[in-house]
Chains A and B, each alone.
Chain A
């Protein structure tokens, strides 16, 4: 009864357009009143989740990403990518994929990625005569790579939503091979579409230029190494590593690149606190919602329900992937990860799926939702930069959807793709 009330009120409020955080909190409150539980316990749960140690890294990585976006790091990375892969068919499209992979490794955010790389390359591609839908589709597809590479804050979000027991280092490592596979799949798709549409590559600028651009990009790219090896070697925790990312980003963009002005800094911090408010507010409300779900034994019921329809690990994973892809079409990624993880992870565990492997599956499945209408933030930003209608963009997106789904299937069916690197590092 109370569980029915919880989900019915939550769904009803979502459908009338109530913000997810308010829908979660109000539905939890009503169900708690039905059960006769004290309301103050919900506020305690919300507060505990709102300011938990495992989430401290998220606002700091978001802040670092904002600083890099405005401080000239992305420009150097794009120049380097242009020198490296610009001559391949679909030249600037290939540049976009490589630049997204490298910048994703610095920012860890698909939104920062599409804003930085797309903002620079989509107008250039259109100027060179590429059709708008191609320019947008390559860029937004490549932006997903950022979700899988360190310092992906969605990975940290997953770890927190899972109760904090899953190693962030393992998750960061587990995403690297799938990210590289995704980059290759998008580059191949770009090549095929470019060949069909007759987009040639750019002239090779010569090795001295490649070397010069590499040297210029190194200070920015060093951040990947600092974050990655700092956490992996145990020198820094994820939070300390995020702090160092912020300080390093300020130093590089102010002292080395001399691009970050006071106004950029204010915009970066304004963007970061608003994103932090949105993300942590949902996390807080989801804490109370999840606490009540656990009280009502909803995860155990989900396991039982799944056992009635799915008989093996692969089938259960494919069912969950399907559910996440459908939910991802109309929910944003952060709330989906926060709400779905406490329900789906126990099911995956009951079937013997490694939680780190499941984390990668979850992040990629939910990430694809960022590119699907009616709610797909990366799709909307890309279309806005390309000044093209969302519906028109989506028409040309299907080869890229296929590439992403093939990679997702490979991640689901072949666990070593995700798990071999964390195992090797231990």
Chain B
């Protein structure tokens, strides 16, 4: 999706504000959102790309205005309702509907340390052959999916070189829609700064992106 979240290379986003000795959470509610998000994911009603897609669908002006945890919180409410774990009325009222059954949380305190990460959940063991080899020249395809993708706009149509093969992973453009995984190789691809940003960029610098096989074509 060509949304504002895809902001690599955009200008006008303001200054970088650095806070010294920044606390992990700036308000208690942030820590609660963080924990709720992680623990509700354990219900397996959605995967990480579904949740990213949800965040990306926040209207642009709101997305830019919101803080990081506010975006998570906004998306979380929608994910919970859409998955059927809670109802819209329950979300609005903050109270369990009378008569609705009480479930048993899948993760207890003791299990917190061993919860799998998003990366662990995204890896696939499928014996899929890679289309590209290290050192090979590739071009990022000129794709403009209307929905979730992890191919940033700034790289589309650009020429790069395969730096490394990261193995096989689920394909985000598919799993964001609960479609079958389409497991495929993910590569680290090197793009020269000048290729991305034009003649005035450094002749020496580069940007490396991790891109799925489906995002690439031979150059």
- Check if A and B associate: no
Q: Which B residues are within 8 Å of any A CB, using their own CB?
A: none
Q: Which residues on A are within 8 Å of B, measured CB to CB?
A: none
